[in-house]
Amino acid sequence: MHPTMEAGRSAQPGSSHHHMAGKIMAGSSSTMSSLHLDPHYIVTFGGFLKIMQILFSILGLICILCASRTYYWYGFVALGALFITLILFAFYICRVIERLHFALWIFEAIYCGIWAFLYFIVATYAANSGQHEGVFIAASVFGFLAMIMYVLDVVHKIFLAASRDSRQM
C-alpha cells in the first residue's frame, strides 16, 4: 500500500493522515534503509573470512579446553578473536559499517594483523606442547588455520582500500 493511502482513502494535506504519511516517507531515507539485515554479506569473500575466523576460533577453544592441562594464553587469544570478530560480523551483516564515516578498515586490518601474529604464537606453542596430546595438536591446526584467515583478511582489506583509492583518482 502506498504510504499516503490508508484503507483506500488518500491523505488530505493538513490532516493527521498526511502528517503520518510524511513521517513514514521521511523515515524511509537512506540512513534508515542502511540499517537492515544483509544476508548477502555471508556469501562475499569478507563474510566467508569472518565465518571461518569464528569457526576456527571456536574449534581451537574447544580443543584447548578439553586438554589435560589448560593453556590460558590460547584461550585468551581464541576468546578475544571470537568476541571481536562476532561484533564485526554483526556490524557488517547489519550494515552498521556503512554508516561509520571514518576509515574503519585501517583499524580492522591492524586488529587482524595483531590477531594473526597472536594466533601464530599460540598455535606454535600448542604444536610444540602437544607432542603427546592430540587436542593440543588439533588446537594448533585450528590456530594456524585461523591465522591464515586473519592474514587473508588483512590482504583483502588492503586490496579493497587500494582499489577504492585507484577509482578515486
**Tens of pLDDT along 40-64?**
989 999 999 999 999 999 999 999 9
Q: Say how many C-beta atoms besides its own lie within 10 A of residue 2's C-beta.
A: 10
**pTM score of the predicted model:** 0.75
pLDDT in tens, 125-143: 999 987 778 899 999 999 9
Give yes or no: residues 141 and 88 share one domain.
Answer: yes
Query: Do 14 and 43 fall within a single domain?
Result: no
- State how far the Cα of 78 lies from the Cα of 54, in Å rounded to an integer: 9
Q: What is the pLDDT of residues 83-133, one digit of tens each?
A: 999 999 998 999 887 777 677 889 999 999 999 999 999 999 999 987 778
Q: Are residues 93 and 153 in the same domain?
A: yes
The residue-averaged pLDDT of 70-88 equals 93
**Total tally of structural domains belonging to the chain:** 2
Instruction: Tell me, yes or no, whether 25 and 73 share the same domain.
Output: no
Residue 1's domain comprises 1-29
Is position 5 within any domain?
A: yes
Residue at 34 is within a domain: no
Maximal C-alpha separation, the chain: 80
Task: Centre a 10 Å sphere on the Cβ of residue 125 and count the other Cβ atoms it contains.
Answer: 17
